[in-house]
Amino acid sequence: MSTVEHIDYLGDTYSKVRAQLGGSLPADLDGFLTRWFAAVNAQDIDAQLEFVTDDIYVEDPAMQGRFTRGKDEFRRFAEITYKAFPDMRFTEIGAPYIALDGDSLALRWRGTATLTGDISGWPPENPGPVVKATGKGFDLEGFDIYRFTGGRISTWLIRYDNLEMGTQLGLAGG
C-alpha cells in the first residue's frame, strides 16, 4: 500500500482474483485505497464523497450507537470529527482482506489524532452535551470493513476500541 510497505504482488494477484470473483470492488483497488486514504488524511470531504454512493451507510463507535445514511449525514459527521481532530491521520497496515463475494474488503489501520477542538452537534437530531477539547491524543489500531456497489463505497463499518480511545483522550477511565 502507499502509506506502508507496498505489497508488490497485490496488483497482479488482485487482478487475477478479481476477474474470477466478479463483484463491485474497484478495478484498481490499490489506487482506489491510496486516493481514499489521501482524501481522508487531507480531511477533504468533497473528495471523499466522490468515493461513496449517494446512500452511503457509515458506523463508527464514536457515533454513540447511531449511524450516518447518505452524503449529507456523512458530511456532517466528518465536519464534526475534523473540527475536533484537525491533525487526524490514518495509515494502512498490510494488504486488504478481500471477501469472496467480490463486493467487500477489510483493512487494518493505525490512527492518531489530538482532541484540540470541541465535539458538538452530534447526533444532529438531538445533540448530546458538548465534549470539551482535552489537548490529549490517541494512537490506536482498528480496522474498516467496506462494501462496494458499482466500484464505490456503499457501507463503511469502522471498528476500534472506543474505551481505549476515550481513555487516551482523557474522557474515560483512569
For residue 43, is it left (φ>0), alpha (ψ between -120 and 50) or beta?
left
Are the CB atoms for 59 and 67 separated by under 8 Å? yes
| Count of beta carbons in the 10 Å neighbourhood of residue 36 | 22
Which pLDDT score is estimated for 124? Answer: 79
Which pLDDT score is estimated for 6? Answer: 45
Which pLDDT score is estimated for 17? Answer: 63
| Count of beta carbons in the 10 Å neighbourhood of residue 122 | 20
Q: All domains of the chain, ordered by start, with CATH?
A: 10-168 (3.10.450.50)
- Percent pLDDT > 70 in the chain is 87
Which pLDDT score is estimated for 18? Answer: 60
Picking from 116, 114, 111, 72, the residue whose alpha carbon sits closest to that of residue 92 is 111
Which pLDDT score is estimated for 126? Answer: 80
Residue 72 has which C-alpha cell?
Answer: 449529507
Which residues of the chain carry a pLDDT beneath 70?
1-21, 173-174
- For the whole prediction, is pTM greater than 0.85? yes
Which pLDDT score is estimated for 14? Answer: 61
Give CA separation, 12 vs 15, 17, 30, in Å.
Answer: 5, 9, 11
Which pLDDT score is estimated for 20? Answer: 65
Picking from 120, 119, 121, 94, the residue whose alpha carbon sits closest to that of residue 108 is 94
3-state secondary structure of 112: strand
Cβ neighbours for 7, distance < 8 A, ≥ 6 positions apart: 1, 94, 95
Report the run of H or E that residue 33 belongs to, with start and end: helix 29-41
Which pLDDT score is estimated for 19? Answer: 63
Beta bridge partners of 142: 109
Which pLDDT score is estimated for 128? Answer: 83
